[in-house]
Amino acid sequence: MMWLCMHPGQTPFAAQRSTMKRHRPRAEDFTIGWICPLPLEYAAAKEVLDELYDEAEYATGRIYNHEIVITCLPAGQMGTNAAAAATARMLAAFPNLKNALLVGIAGGVPSKQADIRLGDVVISQPNGQYGGVVQYDFGKTIPGGFQRVGSLNAPSHDLLTALSKLKSNPAAARNAIDASKTYQPPSNVDTLFHASYDHVGGETCFRCRQDMKMKRVPRVGGTEIFFGTVASGNQVIKYGTTRDRTSSKLDGVLCFEMEAAGVVNLVPCLVIQGICDYADSHKNKTFQPLAAAAAAICARELLSYLPYKPTLGIEQQEIPMRGPVQLRTEDENHRNHQNQRDIEPQHCKTSTAQKRIYMESLRFDQMDSRHATIKRAHAKTCHWLMDCQEHKDWLSIDCFDQHHGFFWIKGKPGAGKSTLVKFAFSQAKKTMRDVNILCFFFNARGEALEKTVLGMYRSLLWQLLEQLPDLQAVFDTSSVTASHGNPPNWTVETLKDLFCTAVEGLQNRSVICYIDALDECKQEEVQDMLSFFEQLGEIAASNRLRLLVCFSSRHYPHITVENKVELVLENQGDHHTDISNYVNAELKVGSGRQVPQIKEKIINRSSGIFLWAVLVVRILNEEYSRGHVHTLKRRLDEIPNGLHSLLKDILTRDNNNMAKTLLCLQ
């Protein structure tokens, strides 16, 4: 990259500005983080600084009035996890970073809606569906394909306001980009081939068929800036058909990159990407330096619209605006002996940035997986729960001293406990707007955190502190701050202490927890967890705090809590009515004379096991669809009683419909 000659310590942009005295910045003074995945992006970022202070572990400097800290991913590391780790380290070292920019290069997605060319710039912008960035490769495998799950945070109000101002005057950014170019690749290098045509071989497209080039109207003017959705994931997109197909599934994205999804949930962030290729097999590195420079200059222009909000209450020392300052020492021991350090991260209290790190470290990918896979209750079922006396007593303040806030739903395997708990959770979210509703569904077939109390405590604590941010003050406890701002290695005991402290801070606010499938967690862990919640219930009762907990499980012979309201599902008449309603609604076997008898037999033989009825209805519907109208009653008689025997029978004789059977078991 070629730039004008300049004085030492200045960038090309700094060469045009005064050398007035400025305050010496400390770690607390930096408010903008700048993340660069690649070294060439890091170099481009430093070039647009008005002043470069230091480039030890981080490059620090100034753009306009903003104090900027720039980080680059370690050599050879890429993807969302590496970006998240680098961002977390930066947030720990600079506790007052309010906003961030992820600035780099990406593969463009040209379309009829967006005539993207090499060297153009894409900036993430929220729409009604995404917050500006979508992680296209994060989800779960379901029968029939892949289902994307999860969402990513949108940028801050300040960043979006600056973005709106940049959009209102894009010519300023375009002109700055075009004026900075000292090298422009030949126009014939910017070649877009048909998506289905793959690269022949070699470093250039000299051997590729010229008749496979897309015909595009020559552009009048220079760089264009596009605003919309950026797709992020842990794989390089190198095929045109894959590019277009993935973009279509996401309702149209502007580019693909590999780091943004690891950053935007840690700190409010805009993604600014220079387009260096078309995410196809013809990609090469010719346009990378130009694209990196364009993105960096565009980021600089955006910062001209971002309000300057200096940190308060910090004494600063004036120094001449020249020459770098030392950013960080090698390690804690050396820093203790360094009397003339210039910048020192502060860990005496939990900063907003550190709290974000702690909050993000509580989350894990499968936190909501089991809850999401449980089928929604049938429209004609479960409503009785809201009116049953046990549920009313649980919610009643008058009965709180008797049950200490505990409601336990018990039932046989397959009775429908998880569906009922999901229904109760959904109803509470809809009808109790002033109550903070939490949930965790254990999953014995899931990842480690899905079936342990460690995962449960992390999930519940994250939900509580996310809904009541003032309770994040619990992170000020010594057991957490001992980690010096790095993501803690969470332990059950630490999480229990934090959760208890948070509950004690509820004051007049109410919390309801739904914890499903205790039997899918190790018994000794469940015993310890119940003991903890009993102590928590006593604290809540004695301090008149509103903490309610709903458990569900199979019938434990010995594990229980002393004070509770208990409901045994298969003993509820309304539950049997639910099974009857389901069978009458879902059994599609015509209207012959034997149908009422078949329905009655299914209901009676289910013995309160909802899943048994669901599977039998599916089997008989399949028989009917195959034309076996007159053998339905005989097929029903062949079906064994009991869920275990039925499942064994299905697995040995119904391999053709295994996918549907497994879906019923979710």
Tens of pLDDT, residue by residue over 413-429, are 999 999 999 999 999 99
Q: State mean pLDDT over 549-562.
A: 90
pLDDT for residue 556 is more than 90: no
Same domain, 594 and 555: no
| CATH, residue 421 | 3.40.50.300
- Contact between 440 and 552 under an 8 Å Cβ cutoff? The reply is no
DSSP 366: T
* Interatomic CA distance for residues 199 and 437, integer angstroms: 54
Q: State mean pLDDT over 552-563.
A: 88
Nearest Cα to Cα of residue 283 among 41, 109, 39, 78: 109
Read off the amino acid at residue 660.
Answer: K
Same domain, 51 and 102: yes
- How much is the pLDDT for 645? 76
Q: What is the mean pLDDT of the chain?
A: 82
Within a domain: residue 6?
A: no
* Interatomic CA distance for residues 404 and 389, integer angstroms: 16
Q: State mean pLDDT over 79-90.
A: 90
Within a domain: residue 325?
A: no
Q: State mean pLDDT over 500-509.
A: 90
Within a domain: residue 484?
A: yes
Q: What is the pLDDT of residues 608-652, one digit of tens each?
A: 989 989 998 988 988 888 877 778 888 888 888 877 777 776 656
Same domain, 420 and 560: yes
Same domain, 285 and 370: no
Q: Which residue carries 């170019």 as its tokens?
A: 181
- Please give the sequence-ordered ranges of beta strands (E in DSSP) within 173-224, or none if there are none: none
Same domain, 513 and 403: yes
Q: How many CA atoms are closer than 13 Å to the CA of 95, on its beta-carbon side?
A: 19
* Interatomic CA distance for residues 501 and 536, integer angstroms: 10
pLDDT for residue 9 is more than 60: no
Bridge partner list, 414: none
Q: State mean pLDDT over 489-494.
A: 92
- How much is the pLDDT for 665? 45
- Contact between 68 and 60 under an 8 Å Cβ cutoff? The reply is yes
Cα–Cα distances in Å, from 393 out to 5, 397, 434? 79, 8, 19
Which is it for the CA torsion 362, 366, 369, 370, positive or negative?
negative
**Which of 29-43, 149-163, 329-343, 381-395 shows the lowest per-residue confidence on average (mean pLDDT)?**
329-343
**Which of 42-46, 194-198, 357-361 shows the lowest per-residue confidence on average (mean pLDDT)?**
194-198
Give the pair of three-digit tokens for residue 72.
């680059």
Q: Which residue carries 């429209």 as its tokens?
A: 379
Helix (H) or strand (E) holding 467: helix 453-467
Same domain, 590 and 541: no
**Which of 185-194, 260-269, 588-597 shows the lowest per-residue confidence on average (mean pLDDT)?**
185-194
Instruction: Give the range of the structural domain holding residue 155, as residue numbers without chain letter.
Output: 32-305
- How much is the pLDDT for 311? 62
Within a domain: residue 27?
A: no
Q: 10 pLDDT band (50/70/90 cuts)?
A: very low
147 against 175, higher pLDDT: 175
The pTM of the whole model exceeds 0.75:
no
* Interatomic CA distance for residues 565 and 546, integer angstroms: 16
Q: State mean pLDDT over 133-138.
A: 88
Total structural domains in the chain? 3
At residue 426, the 3 state secondary structure works out as helix
* Interatomic CA distance for residues 636 and 641, integer angstroms: 10
Same domain, 596 and 534: no
Q: What is the pLDDT of residues 222-264, one digit of tens each?
A: 889 999 999 999 888 888 888 898 888 888 999 999 999 999 9
Bridge partner list, 318: 23
Phi, psi of 438 (to 5 degrees): -120, 160
At residue 357, the 3 state secondary structure works out as helix
At residue 529, the 3 state secondary structure works out as helix
Q: How many CB atoms lie within 10 A of CB 485?
A: 23
- How much is the pLDDT for 666? 46
Q: Which residue carries 């034309």 as its tokens?
A: 627
Which of 305, 332, 366 terminates a domain? The answer is 305
Same domain, 368 and 426: yes
* Interatomic CA distance for residues 232 and 20, integer angstroms: 42
The most confident of 167-176, 200-209, 212-221, 361-370, by mean pLDDT: 361-370
pLDDT for residue 217 is more than 80: yes
Helix (H) or strand (E) holding 652: helix 643-653
- Contact between 427 and 387 under an 8 Å Cβ cutoff? The reply is no
Q: Which residue carries 């940049």 as its tokens?
A: 166
Angle at 514 between CA 510 and CA 516, to 5 degrees: 170
- How much is the pLDDT for 173? 81
- How much is the pLDDT for 12? 53
- Contact between 306 and 159 under an 8 Å Cβ cutoff? The reply is yes
- How much is the pLDDT for 201? 78
C-alpha Rg value of the chain to the nearest Å: 30
- How much is the pLDDT for 489? 86
pLDDT for residue 322 is more than 60: no
Nearest Cα to Cα of residue 538 among 578, 590, 486, 503: 503
**Which of 16-20, 158-162, 175-179, 417-421 shows the lowest per-residue confidence on average (mean pLDDT)?**
16-20
Within a domain: residue 10?
A: no
Which of 266, 288, 305 terminates a domain? The answer is 305
- How much is the pLDDT for 485? 54
Same domain, 564 and 590: no
Bridge partner list, 108: 255
Long-range contacts of 534-537 (CB under 8 A, 24+ apart): 534/404, 534/561, 534/562, 534/563, 535/500, 536/499, 536/500, 536/503, 537/404, 537/405, 537/406, 537/561, 537/563
Q: 21 pLDDT band (50/70/90 cuts)?
A: very low
- Contact between 259 and 233 under an 8 Å Cβ cutoff? The reply is no
Within a domain: residue 187?
A: yes
Within a domain: residue 491?
A: yes
Which of 542, 571, 600 terminates a domain? The answer is 571
**Which of 153-157, 531-535, 640-644 shows the lowest per-residue confidence on average (mean pLDDT)?**
640-644
Same domain, 468 and 383: yes
Helix 643-653 vs helix 610-625: angle between axes, to the nearest 10 degrees? 30
* Interatomic CA distance for residues 276 and 374, integer angstroms: 43
Q: What is the pLDDT of residues 580-598, one digit of tens each?
A: 999 999 998 888 888 899 9
Same domain, 491 and 621: no
Q: What percent of the chain has pLDDT over 70?
A: 83
At residue 8, the 3 state secondary structure works out as coil
Same domain, 560 and 608: no
| CATH, residue 83 | 3.40.50.1580
Within a domain: residue 294?
A: yes
27 against 104, higher pLDDT: 104
Phi, psi of 317 (to 5 degrees): -105, 130
